[in-house]
Chain A
Amino acid sequence: MKYNNLIFLILIFFSCIGCGDTPVFTELSGNRLKVVIKGTFETEDVSHFTAMNGQDPNVSPVEDTNSVDDVTSGSHDVLPETFMLDIAEIRLDGKKFANYRTVIEASLAGGNTKASEPEPFFNGDGVILRNDDPGDGTYNTVQLYIRKMVFDNAMIYQSTGSTLTYEKPAEVIFHENDVNGFDFNQLQVNSYWDSLRLEASDTLRIFPLEVPIIGSLVYDKQNEETVLEIRLVIKNFVKKYEYDYYDEGVFKVSHYYALSDWLRDVRAGENDIGRNIHAVARTYVPGKTGIISDTSPGIGYVIAIPSGDSITDYTISATGSALRTANVCDLPQGPSYPGEYIEAILDYYLKYEKYKFDFNAKIASCPNFETGTPNYTDEWNSYEAEVDNFKIAPYAIYSDGTGNYIFNNVAQGSYDIYWASVPAYGELFIDGAFTSLGTVTNLLAGETKAPL
């Protein structure tokens, strides 16, 4: 009889717990978050930056003239033709939701019209990244864990006595295959040198690449679909750099292509190129978006940023090169020890003598460490404050000056609208570049508004 009581209690337990209302197994097989990645500054368009194709790889602006100094006119240098990207995983505010590898190989040959740009990565459509949907909540950043970023057509030049001559194309393993190219992902760090003690520490900028979600992602399963769009400025934002190294005692130089160092200037002899990937993410729920449309004031870019954001967050006060030159405590880096080969070691001591000479010349203009003016700490802090907070607009579109500009799929909210002329090749925007076109206040779903 006591067992009958037990069964009775269990039946009461069943009747009390109640059933859930989330179709878990349907959610498991479905996908409500659509993650799209694009390689253009433009939100929903092809790149209208000054085209890389047609330029000379051996002269500025494609060649980074203050980085390339050993082989200033590469006999075999040609422009890159393909961009390769290998993404290991994506996370939202550090939470795992998509550990699917995505490999993108996109031709750089396309033009600046939708018809002439077949690559989804560059034509505004974007490449979809598979994911398993996050939990409901608000997310402010998306982290891209990037294994490799490669531009092809990197060339190696080697020392043959007194000259550097062409040896062969650089090779790298990409997606388990040998390809011609250079993986510049490995150089996406920033080094902080102690020039006196010849020490440095690195800040890794790429694993993960922290991308801010402007306006935050508010993910709710009540919405049939939510789009998270990530943009990296890749197309027509490419420069050629020089990577110096020793291979079994032979001095070699690799000419490779990577993203423009407009923000953090890369100089001769430096290998680190971190914090030069410009990335932004925005989010919207299809069917709950509005349209911002008006007449364009001229040829250039129209951007929309959340109302109240300072436009100076989207610009820097001078080009990265000028900012770095203005930093009087930007002391030279010492050479790295090359290993066991006598010629390389003799080269090292020569370079070390030059380093001491350069250091002594420079340290006179930076006599203090923490107090006094100028001092090392303040100079670097002000430099970092300028370059580290730069971001790009969540909505950007090219306006050819002959008709309307239109932002489709704008999330509900208020936006400040700005216009700027097209920047020079490999550059973005400095203070004063943007002209205000007004504000769109409280854009609601289904509305079309112009800035006032």
Chain B
Amino acid sequence: MKKTIINICVFTAVLFLVTDVSAASSRKKYFSRPQIGLWYGPVTPILDTGEHVESDLGGGAFFRYNLPYDPLKLGIDSSYQYYDSKGVDRLRLIPVYFNLLYLLPIDLPIRMQLKAGAGMCQVYMEPDETKQWDPMFMAGTEISFPAGKMANIALRIDYLCIYEEYLDGATKNGHVINAGVSLYFNLNL
């Protein structure tokens, strides 16, 4: 096992060394622009929530804008997530949140970002037909592959906590993981 890990590390290091790192700095400039994009992928309820509804596919859109401190961006993100169950319960989530994205200072052709944020989530439950907005928090990470001046392709994974425990009678929060492939564009603004 240990040998395998060492082999993977060596292979990865060689891969980075032979990559055209000279192009990285120019790509970094493009990546620093405002960005807009879409994502699509599996949405998975976890912990208590995962005991009652099942995974499905979801998708969303986002917009990111630069902040004075270069590695940081401010993003707004929204998505549509619909969860089925073995019974008749259905859950629809439409989170709308701000997040701060921090670009890790690793000078590589790929971009790794950490993100954390908060916002509101519209929760709709069937068959009760309850629809309301709840506060929510999120944390996640993203690996982006710049594809030219304009486009980026990324793999993203986010954890969303829909916070309800402050309500009378509430004992549980909502927990979901969003993973997905995203395509987004650098805007020349």
Contacts and interface: CB of A to CB of B under 8 A. Distances in A.
Nearest to B93: A24
B174 A24 contact: yes
Interface stretch (B102-110, B143-151, B164-172): B164-172
Among A14, A22, A133, A135, chain B packs the most CB atoms within 10 A around the CB of A22
A21 B128 contact: no
A25 B127 contact: no
A20 B88 contact: no
A26 interface: yes
A99 B87 contact: yes
A20 B76 contact: no
A97 B65 contact: no
Contacts of A96: 88, 127
A14 B76 CA distance: 12
A14 B119 contact: yes
Contact of A23 (B49, B53, B120, B171): B171
A97 B88 contact: yes
Given A132-B127, A136-B128, A28 B134 contact: no
A23 B128 CA distance: 12
A28 B127 contact: no
Given A10-B76, A20-B133, A132-B87, A28 B49 contact: yes
Contacts of B129: 135
Nearest to A22: B130
A26 B170 contact: yes
A22 B89 CA distance: 16
Given A14-B120, A19-B135, A99-B87, A25 B162 contact: yes
Contacts of A132: 85, 87-89, 127
Contacts of B128: 27, 133-136, 221
A3 interface: yes
A297 B74 CA distance: 80
A96 B88 CA distance: 7
A19 B48 contact: no
A21 B172 contact: no
Contact of B172 (A23, A131, A135): A23
A25 B170 contact: yes
Contacts of B179: none
A17 interface: yes
B22 interface: no
Interface residues of B, number: 39
Contacts of B131: 20
A197 B184 CA distance: 71
A95 interface: yes
Given A25-B173, A29-B52, A19 B125 contact: no
B123 to A, nearest CB: 5
A27 B131 CA distance: 13
B91 interface: yes
B26 interface: no
Contacts of A95: 127
Contact of B89 (A10, A18, A28, A221): A28
A98 interface: yes
B132 interface: yes
A96 B86 CA distance: 13
B132 A22 contact: yes
Interface string A348-385: 00000000000000000000000000000000000000
Given A24-B164, A96-B88, A99-B88, A134 B127 contact: yes
A2 to B, nearest CB: 10
Interface in A1-55: 3, 7, 10, 14, 17-29
A134 B87 CA distance: 12
Contacts of B133: 17-20
B91 A28 contact: yes
A180 to B, nearest CB: 32
Interface string B150-187: 00000000000010100111111110000000000000
Contacts of A98: 87-88
A192 interface: no
A337 interface: no
Contacts of B51: 29
B52 to A, nearest CB: 5
B132 A135 contact: no
Interface of B: 34, 48-49, 51-53, 65, 74, 76, 85, 87-89, 91, 96, 98, 119-120, 123, 125, 127-135, 162, 164, 167-174
21 contacts: A14-B120, A17-B120, A19-B120, A22-B132, A22-B167, A24-B91, A25-B49, A25-B162, A26-B164, A26-B169, A26-B171, A26-B172, A27-B128, A27-B130, A28-B49, A28-B91, A28-B125, A95-B127, A97-B88, A130-B87, A134-B127
Counting from the closest, the 5 A-B pairs by CB-CB distance are A20-B132, A23-B170, A132-B87, A25-B172, A135-B128
